[in-house]
Structure 1
Amino acid sequence: MDRLLLDPHTALAEGATLAALLRCCAREVCGPRGQVWAAEPYVMLRVAGTLLRVRAQGGIALRFDGPPEWLADGSWLPLTSGLLLDLLQRELAQQEFAQQPLQQRPVRPQRATRGLDQRVADQREVVGRGLEGVNDEFAAQVVSSRDAIATILSARAEAAEGTARASRPPQDPWLASEQALVYGHPFHPSPKARTGSQWPLYAPEAHAEFPLRLLGVRSNLVAGQGDAGALDRLGTAPPGYALLPAHPWQLDLLAGELREPLGDGRLIDLGYGSRPVIPTSSVRTVYEPGTGTCLKFSLDVRITNCVRKNAWYELTGAVELTERLHPVFERLADAFPGTRWLPEPGYRSAALGTRLLEGLGVIVRSGPWAVCGPGVTPILAAALAAPPYGMAEGDAATAAGVPDAVRARRAGDPLTWWKAYVERVAPPVLDAYFTHGVVLEPHVQNVLIGVDDDGLPVEAIFRDLEGTKLVAGRHDLSGLPGRVAEAVTYEAGHGWDRVVYCLVVNHLAEVAATVAEPAAKPASLLDRLWEVAREVLAGYAGEHGRPVPLAGLLAGAPLPAKANLAVRWARSADSAAGYVPVANPLAGYWSW
């Protein structure tokens, strides 16, 4: 695909897709095989025998300073997402990537000796012959994600121009940050792939807002746990029924299974609610302004790696974890002022069999404005991590997600801003694990940063209990059903890997790269940022007996990076995703 011939939105979508694929390739395919190396000013990669190069910065966040190229007959030519996808398909199929351990996959380099047209034709022929391991589903998800990004950019442009059919950006700065993630996960091969054709109606990145559908559930068939009373403020159910809000997209997906209970009166359709809700970054979780709460729905749609369904044990687990975490977060807030969280006090569904119990289940979550202190504005960490510059991110798509005061303070005094940021986020996550045996999931979409009027981070708000776990053996789970206990538990080593990946690789590395990127010498500033982060983590370690896993992290142990490419290639569940090692910038050096 020639980006010069594309409209601006499609060209940006192509660049973002290519960048994400190349990051995944460097981290999961080339890195573990020793097929990526520095050749200043470029980073070089070899994929299926073909040499690639790109200017890069940002350390393990891998931000690109220009378009990637590939070598053919001694000439460097523009790389496209289609060609890179073909090369990846060939590489992964030949090495049986989904079946063999990384250390056992031999490299079989091939010389790039033919011209552009012939090389592309060769790659497509290999894929077309049906090599074992090649799958159309993987390629379709990459293309679907690219097309979705173009659609989102077009919708945002229409909103900026005031086009009647386009939704306007939210005035709420927190919601603006939730809707700023146009390009998605930077290390995912298909970050915006979504099932079906309805998704633009409900996409946060396109500034969607919509009313909920309201159902009535016959009183003797109401399923639930905890306090879900906020749902009763969304409308009025007739006598003998309880109100159950539903995501309109999910009702369409469940239409066949709902026909019978709607026909015999076990459920009744009460129509649409009277006010719109606003989807947050996860798509299926919405903010309901009238009650100030968030509602987490099931959506039988694959978003990145998962079909976003509230399993029955996750519904129960959210309420159980909320009860257990109240005293934990009280202690964390005492030890680390500014620590906040969003409880999930209850859920409601319909007892109509497991399929509809899960499909209609909705979890009530506190809204962030209810927990922030006076004068504090919550901002999604992922919006703060989104690059303001770079190959795919050179437009203004994400600008609205970061308040002017934050951008000014971050640019004017990056080290002070960054130290405050790390102090808010890292110590409570570490203490939750070491002191309380709780594994938080502090990736950039699960953490909100509370900033003051001057743009300085003063609070960290942790959310989404689906990924929060209890360390096995440190909690009495004897009263829980076995499947629920299993779902809320991690073995200690697994939990530590998850903490390190989410906190350091997914979160701090991405925000640090964004802080450093506008600097005159970004690499130098990035080194200083990691020195500050190391000081904060070392300070916690020194005050808490230098726990062995943390000492290893500070000593430079390789970091675990989630293998999103591998799990999508293998068509596996997200829970099956493994990790690949990446260099640890906390060690004070960076090297391929």
Structure 2
Amino acid sequence: MENKLRSEAEQQAHEHSCKLLLNCYIRELALEKADDIRINPNTLTYAVAFQASGVKVTGQLSYYSAMGEHEYLSMESGGETVHYRNLVRWITSELIGDGEQGANSGQHGMLKSAVEMKSSVKVDIAQPLGESTNRVEVAYARDFAQKVDNSVGNLTLYIEQAAGLDIRDYRTSEQSLLVGHPFHPFPKNSKGFSEQEVQKYSPELRTSFQLCYIAVRQDVYMQEWVDDEAMMDLHELLRSHVQPILKEKSEMYGLLPVHPWQYAYISRLAEIQHYFQDEKLILLGSAGPTVYPTSSVRTVYVPAWNCNIKLSLNMQITNMIRTNSAEQMRRTLDASKYVSQHDCFGAEPNTYIAYETGVATCAFEDEELTSLFTIAYRPIEFDPANTYVLSSLVEAPLPGLRSRLVTMLGGGRDIAERWLDRYLACSLLPIVRATGEKGIHFEAHLQNTLVTLKDGMPVGFIVRDLEGVSVDEELISEQDHAASDLLFYSREKAWARTSYYFIVNHLGSLIHVLARDVNVPEEHFWKQVRDALVEELEQTGNEYVQHLLTTEAFLAKQNLVSCLRGISQTPAYVPVSNPMKRIGSEVRGSCGIQG
């Protein structure tokens, strides 16, 4: 029975990974390789030719997605079922074979026209958030394949051990994101964890542990809080553990919480051994309350202290090293202060922000060394018994089943429509109002947003991880300029973030699972979004709402291409057709805008 279960888990992980890889490839290369990618929404058939390898992948879809999140019934090549490793090889060969020619070399005009606003605001960017190069090095291709393998191995383990576990509250929702990002080629990669460490520290396996702590002498210790009331006194909270070790020297030190994996890593670093010898750093071991790793792996939930702590973890989660740089933490605190001072959602009764209130670290001269120790505090100010991470609600307890959200709602179309109406009222509409009125933009993707439910219906929407906040530089005062230059972006770059993270990433996947699970086209729910935006436009004349309704396309991140080309820090983007533009040929609002 155990072997059979393992086989089933492997099969499900394999099929899901094939879906991810092909969906990423189709979305990201559809413009560049239009002659090689064919999808027929009427017959639910598809064919993708990989010219460099001389193969064609064909099959049947079980669901056609307007936003590209297709579901597959079959995936074959040459009469045989496709293996994910074959897909990896064919994709990398195709991109290596492209040399210097690719999607962005001949698409500049298309990208510009695709994202122009039909108003006074224009997004006129060929690569809005990053630079792209089309060369794929062999080393990147090899690294890519290893990360896909790692992700598939982890996913197999999660399906085998944790699939079907219920979601009861905030904590269990944080620990239920089994498959992760639907448009990332290796969403469950955790390169750096051994097999034993995956078992010990993966949130998907409902793990928990104690943090470790380091005492840092005050001349090396640094902390900053948004205000005195936000400060956490770890000395008091950990007195029974710390006092016997530090004794009369206790006041000479600040305390830093550290992930156990990071603690072992830091302890071995040659660069800081003299800090231990001089007692500038003292290792205190594990202590304190039980913590629970959340969906980001390195952020932990501490129920006893009613907070989350964003830790540093010097390893790859998906494709990024998860340490906290000085610039990231500066942005985080400045964003917390700015958004709070400008009362961002003050007029919205059901929309909230989870603020980062403090940062602590060591003041080393080497900034990379400092980033290994840096942490941020985020208090819990919502009801953890009834609040859930959005990304876990849109997932199914097992690949191929209905989403947890639609199961929770009972599976009917009418209730799904009512749920979405309530949700848009406390999420999308407040976000576009904050953008239009205050120039504040959020990276509100599915994993960065929470929803509080009452009787299954949304009564609160919460945005978190303020490092992603950006502010329209045209809407700031001279006094604000002095606060932080890191927050301020051109209008088009700030808006490109909001439209990608909330419209494409967030609403795209939410609407996909609602539509798929109640068996209607995604356009059914996009029309609902469009109707809400048309009403908002009539009332406010908000130019960003106007853009959402009338732009030909939104820009979506090319995760697969960016990972393969080694540009994940400054990823490339590709236009994705706007379903709301297709639904209605005309948009009438107070601005007299024609769609």
What range describes the TM-score normalised by the shorter chain of this pair?
0.7 to 0.9
* Letter aligned with residue 66 of structure 1: L
TM-superposed CA distance for 1:332, in Å, is 1.8
Task: Tell me the equivalent position of 1:83.
Answer: 86
Matched residue of 1:85: which SS?
Answer: helix
Choose from 439, 442, 461 the match for 1:440: 442
Give the C-alpha shift of residue 496 in structure 1. 1.0
1:413-457 residue CA offsets vs partner (Å, 9 max, x unmatched): 1111111112221012112221111110110001101111x1011
What's the CA shift for 1:5?
12
Instruction: Check 1:191–1:456 CA distance in 2 against 1; reply closer, same or farther (3 A cut).
Output: same
Relative to 1, partners in 2 of residues 1:175 and 1:6: Cα closer, same or farther, differing over 3 Å?
Answer: closer
Residue number in structure 2 paired with 1:581? 575
Cα distance between partner residues in 1 of 2:577 and 2:462: 28
Does 2:375 correspond to 1:362? yes
Residue in structure 2 matched with residue 408 of structure 1 by the alignment: 410
* Alignment CA distance shift 1:512-1:171 (3 Å): closer
- For residues 185-205 of structure 1, the C-alpha deviation after alignment (integer angstroms, 9 at most, x for no partner) is 111111111122133321111
1:274-297 Cα deviation digits (max 9, x unpaired): 321011111111111111001001
- Deviations 1:203-222, CA, capped at 9 Å, x for gaps: 11111111000111112322
SS in 1 for 2:447: coil
Q: Does 1:511 align with 2:507?
A: no
Q: 1:383 maps to what in 2? A: 392
Change in 2 beyond 3 A, CA 1:93/1:170: same
Q: Could you tell me whether the CA contact under 8 Å between 2:17 and 2:185 is conserved in 1?
A: yes
| Alignment of 1:568 onto 2:571 | no
Residue equivalent to 1:345: 357
The Cα of 1:403 is off from its aligned counterpart by 9.7
TM-score, normalised with respect to structure 2: 0.82
Q: Distance in 2 between matches of 1:512 and 1:133?
A: 37
**For the Cα contact (< 8 Å) 1:230–1:364, is it kept in 2?**
no
Shift of 1:565: 0.7
Letter in 2 for 1:92: L
**Which residue in the other structure is 1:59 paired with?**
66
Distance 1:589 1:507 in 2: 20
Higher RCO structure, 1 or 2 (CA under 8 Å, sep 6+): 2
Identity %: 24
Give the CA deviation at 1:308: 1.1
Residue 418 (1) aligns with residue 420 (2): yes
- Deviation of the 1:331 alpha carbon: 4.8
Shift of 1:518: 2.3
Distance 1:440 1:193 in 2: 26
Distance 1:104 1:345 in 2: 43
Q: Please show how residues 530-569 of structure 1 align to structure 2 within 5 Å.
A: 530-547=526-543, 549-569=544-564
What is residue 382 of structure 2 aligned with on the other side? 371
Rounded to whole Å, the distance in 1 between the matches of 2:530 and 2:464 is: 25
The number of aligned residues is: 529
1:360 is displaced (CA, Å) by 0.8
Structure 1 residues 245 and 131, CA gap change in structure 2 (3 angstroms): closer
- The residue type equivalent to 2:379 in the other structure is S
Q: Are the aligned partners of 1:32 and 1:580 in contact in 2 as well (CA < 8 Å)?
A: no
Contact 2:168 2:385 in 1 (8 A): no
Q: Is the 8 A contact 1:341 1:371 kept in 2?
A: no
Q: How far off is 1:80 after superposition?
A: 1.5
Q: What residue number does 1:121 align with? A: none
1:311 to 298, 321, 325: 325
Q: Is residue 93–residue 131 contact of structure 1 (8 Å, CA) maintained in 2?
A: yes
Equivalence map 1:33-44=2 (5 Å)? 33-34=33-34, 35-39=36-40, 40-44=43-47
Aligned twin of 1:122: none
Q: What CA deviation, in whole Å up to 9, does each residue of 1:117-145 have, x standing for no partner?
A: xxxxxxxxxxxxx9868721111111111
- CA shift in 2, pair 1:172/1:327, >3 Å: farther
Note the alpha carbon deviations across 1:386-413, whole angstroms, 9 max, x for none. Answer: 246xxx71369x75xx596x43376661
* In 2, Cα distance between equivalents of 1:486 and 1:6: 52
Q: Deviations over 1:329-357 (max 9, x none)?
A: x35241x2201111111111122332342
Superposition pairs for residues 144-293 of structure 1, below 5 Å? 144-156=150-162, 173-196=169-192, 197=194, 198-226=197-225, 227-229=230-232, 231-232=234-235, 234-236=237-239, 237=242, 238=246, 239=250, 240-254=252-266, 255-256=268-269, 257-293=271-307
TM superposition shift of 1:376? 7.5
Distance in 2, Cα, partners of 1:199 & 1:186:
21
Q: Deviations over 1:73-122 (max 9, x none)?
A: xxx431221111111011101113797725379xxxxxxxxxxxxxxxxx
- C-alpha contact (below 8 Å) 2:312/2:375 kept by paired residues: yes
Other structure's SS at 1:265 match: coil
* Farther-moved stretch of structure 1 (256-265 vs 431-440): 256-265
- 1:170 deviates by 8.7
* 100 and 26 in structure 1: CA distance in 2 versus 1, 3 angstrom threshold: closer
Residues of 2 paired with 1:83 and 1:30: CA distance? Answer: 20
Name the counterpart of 1:138.
144
Change (3 A) 1:277 1:480: farther
Give the aligned partner of residue 587 of structure 2: none
Query: What one-letter code is carried by the residue in structure 2 that aligns with 1:573?
Result: S
Unaligned segments of structure 2, at least 5 residues: 109-135, 585-595
Secondary structure of 1:38's match? strand
Say whether 1:12 aligns with 2:12: yes
Of residues 438-447 and 90-99 in structure 1, the stretch that sits farther from structure 2 once superposed is 90-99
Cα shift at 1:245: 0.9
Q: Which residue of 1 aligns with 2:116?
A: none
User: Structure 1: where are the runs of 5+ without partners?
Assistant: 106-129, 161-168
Match of 1:450 in 2: 452
Contact 2:557 2:574 in 1 (8 A): yes
Question: What is the aligned partner in structure 2 of residue 491 from structure 1?
Answer: 490
Q: In 1, distance between residues paired with 2:236 and 2:517?
A: 46
Matched, 1:25 2:25: yes
Contact 2:316/2:322, CA 8 A, preserved across alignment: yes
Q: 1:531, 1:436 → 2: CA distance?
A: 27
Q: 1:100 to 1:52 in 2, by over 3 A?
A: closer
The alignment's TM-score, normalised by the length of structure 1, stands at 0.83
Q: Deviations over 1:548-581 (max 9, x none)?
A: x43232024211111101110011233x112111
Give the match for residue 125 of structure 1: none
Partner of 2:111: none
Match of 2:465 in 1: 464
Relative distance call for 1:516 and 1:104 in structure 2 (3 A) is: closer
State the Cα distance separating 1:43 from its structure 2 match: 2.8
- The verdict on how the C-alpha distance between 1:577 and 1:231 changes in structure 2, with shifts beyond 3 A counting, is farther
